[in-house]
Amino acid sequence: NSEDVRCKCICPPYKDHSGHIYNKNVSQKDCDCLHVVEPMPVPGPDVEAYCLRCECKYEERSSVTIKVSNRILLL
């Protein structure tokens, strides 16, 4: 498959939890903290506050283009 899609969530430190980056292959409509952050590092009452701090972005990239570019750089 030449197209790769993923949702990337960058979550900063929260209370006693360190920051973390989460990646998951989900649809663009499901690209949010609740669908991507697994396992959820905080208990139920803190989930909303934790997720509001996370920045989630849907990303598409071409594996073929990346491989070709890397080969050119090696030449």
Mean pLDDT in residue range 70-74: 70
- The total number of structural domains in the chain stands at 1
SS3 label, residue 57: strand
Mean pLDDT in residue range 38-45: 95
For the whole model, what pTM was predicted?
A: 0.75
Checking if the pLDDT of 3 tops 60, the result is no
β-strand partners of 3: 62
Copy the structure tokens of residue 25.
Answer: 């292959």
Copy the structure tokens of residue 34.
Answer: 């609740």
Domain extent, residue 30, equals 5-73
Mean pLDDT in residue range 14-41: 95
Checking if the pLDDT of 33 tops 50, the result is yes
**What is the distance, to the nearest Å, from the Cα of residue 45 to the centroid of all Cα atoms in its chain?**
23
